[in-house]
Chains A and B, each alone.
Chain A
């Protein structure tokens, strides 16, 4: 049991080491390259991508879907685990909230990159048609951004107050900033009541909003006639996919943060074990939906479906499909079913595989369908029958991923990654428990 002061010292934000600085510079370099590519796209038009009239959506959209899916981790870890009274979640929630915020903000930015006329973005608000699924997206994403920020902020209030005190002597200006953000938090009864009530409300609200977010994201595809998209299964399929992507991202980031900040005391092997179980659960549910989505249509093998499944199982996209399904889904399940697989290091690799698999899975969802429309592709250049992202698309997409990592890095740098006050409270409780017992 650590005492209070050591607790704060362990968890307070520390300056970047050499590695941190190099990492930041690396990310900024990638982002700058992406911005240059984007400016070129604005000038020349989206012809710089490899999207054309048939493959009309490409990795900008699949990247967007990936970000939306990853942002679900906030709802899962913070809210669902809270409502199911899983107390082991405490050291993980802050990082989960941080990932959520970064992902949903980047989702908002990424979708704007796909618009060919970003100068007319206000039209989405002035002339909005409520019948369009894109309008629902325009409503739900800012809503989720605000909720995620509030979910991050409210529990931070006591921690900011602690940090204000901690940095008062050595770093007075930093201390002042934390003080400003702490909103005069004194830990008074009135404040605590307000805060706890608020967090409770957010935690309950974020679940339906999070589910709504994933559902609307799925409806962008399933409200069309296209084979491979026109599926009644799509919304729950996307929700479970988000569960997988979110927890995968959580595991990966937690491993790295834990290692760099030396938080092994707080985030123990037991935490990884539990996260592993959660991830297996997520993957199993997702596997179930995958079977429904890909295996069952093969039963009736309607012409359109047959062509689509053929492309995925044995055709042009076969390698990718089996890699993301077996590698990104089945292998994690198998590994994580064993206790040894749920140790931190294997968990990190599995998390990484799950995240990468998630990203490419969404590529497999978006592109193949567009390349077999109802009427044959004729009268257009041969290159229009295929799609692979161009250099511009890769630069911009990787830049958005770098930006997400940058947001996460900066938040992890300046915020206590494990809730200090709550950890203190819980450990005190344990202490008093022990005391009363003995």
Chain B
């Protein structure tokens, strides 16, 4: 009797351990691979253009920050009592995505005239769910090119659309659009005066295609208004002159642009010599055919 009891209890213990281990493994298997995702959202508005929410997804795996690709992100417009789904987007191989909203009319602000956008990721086998909210008020930049005494200036005014009042003491950057990164004109920050305006002189001699420059006036990543960008077409640049030798006949051009000297000289030599060689070969035939 006692032996049986011992036997049974040992058996039961082994069984319990077994079940626990397998069960634990299942649980562990599910949670083992899931990592935390950090979502970043940046609101960028281009005057008379689109609004974009720039989304970045990163994760810290083995102490390294890696970009997370292929995450499905849902974008919502959050109000006090409701959550409107604006759409979904998927992060690309660099873990980034740009979600475009046509203009401010497509989204609603709450009672304090603040827009709130929430981006969320519902989680998948590898990553836990995550979300991020950003809030901003609608600001507007009115920028134009002014020429005074044959000097060029950019004049820009920063206005809070909700209160229709100018924004004072805020820093705006003025820069020229370039291929990789814009070139800043003047100081990094030009603070708006009491009228919410800035006046920045543009130096002469900035090159542009056909003399055209696209100048950006940017309120960069402000706490209240996000990023607002106004573009000004300024045909005040120095026109770009093509310096390349691509269309010229040079020693390094492709065969269709061989320098004339080489073309003519070598062809004369080749035709001359091979002409004579052909004549000699015909002489062989003549010898063969001559009968006497």
Contact = CB atoms under 8 A, between A and B. Distances in A.
State whether these chains interact.
Answer: yes
Interface of A: 127-131, 136, 139, 143, 146-147, 150, 153-154, 157, 183-186, 188-191, 194-195, 197-198, 201-202, 205, 209
Interface stretch (B14-22, B77-85, B257-265): B257-265
B258 A129 contact: yes
B277 A150 contact: yes
Contacts of B241: none
Interface stretch (B41-49, B133-141, B182-190, B281-289): B281-289
Most chain A C-beta atoms within 10 Å of own C-beta, residue among B274, B280, B290: B280
Contacts of A183: 284, 287-288
A136 B267 CA distance: 11
Contacts of A136: 266
Contact of B255 (A129, A143, A186, A188): A129
A292 B23 CA distance: 90
B276 A201 contact: yes
13 contacts: A128-B255, A130-B255, A130-B266, A131-B258, A139-B270, A143-B274, A147-B277, A150-B277, A150-B280, A157-B287, A184-B289, A190-B292, A195-B283
Given A130-B258, A131-B252, A191-B290, A205 B283 contact: no
Given A129-B258, A131-B258, A131-B262, A188 B283 contact: no
A218 to B, nearest CB: 17
Nearest to A150: B280
A209 to B, nearest CB: 7
B277 A143 contact: yes
Contacts of A188: 290-292
Contact of A202 (B266, B280, B288): B280
A184 B251 CA distance: 50
Nearest to A183: B288
Contact of B263 (A127, A130, A153, A194): A130
Interface of B: 251-255, 258-259, 262-263, 266, 270, 273-274, 276-277, 279-281, 283-284, 286-292
Contacts of B251: 131
A150 B286 CA distance: 15
B252 A205 contact: no
Contacts of B254: 129
A191 to B, nearest CB: 5
B252 A185 contact: no
Most chain B C-beta atoms within 10 Å of own C-beta, residue among A131, A139, A188, A198: A131
Contacts of A186: 291-292
Nearest to B258: A130
- 3 closest A-B pairs (Cβ-Cβ)? A183-B288, A188-B292, A129-B255
Nearest to B263: A130
Contact of A184 (B253, B270, B281, B287): B287
Given A131-B252, A139-B266, A194-B287, 7 more contacts: A130-B263, A154-B280, A183-B284, A185-B287, A195-B283, A197-B283, A201-B279
A205 B273 contact: yes
Contacts of B273: 143, 205, 209
Contacts of B253: 131
A129 B255 CA distance: 5
Nearest to A143: B273
A188 B287 CA distance: 9
A84 B103 CA distance: 94
Contacts of B288: 183-184
Nearest to B274: A143
Nearest to A184: B288
Contacts of B263: 130
A131 B259 contact: yes
Contact of A195 (B259, B276, B287): B287
A189 B280 contact: no
A153 B284 contact: yes
Nearest to A157: B287
Nearest to A212: B269
A191 B289 CA distance: 9
B281 A194 contact: no
Nearest to B253: A131
Contacts of A202: 280
A202 B253 CA distance: 36
Contacts of A150: 277, 280-281
Nearest to B286: A194
B255 to A, nearest CB: 5
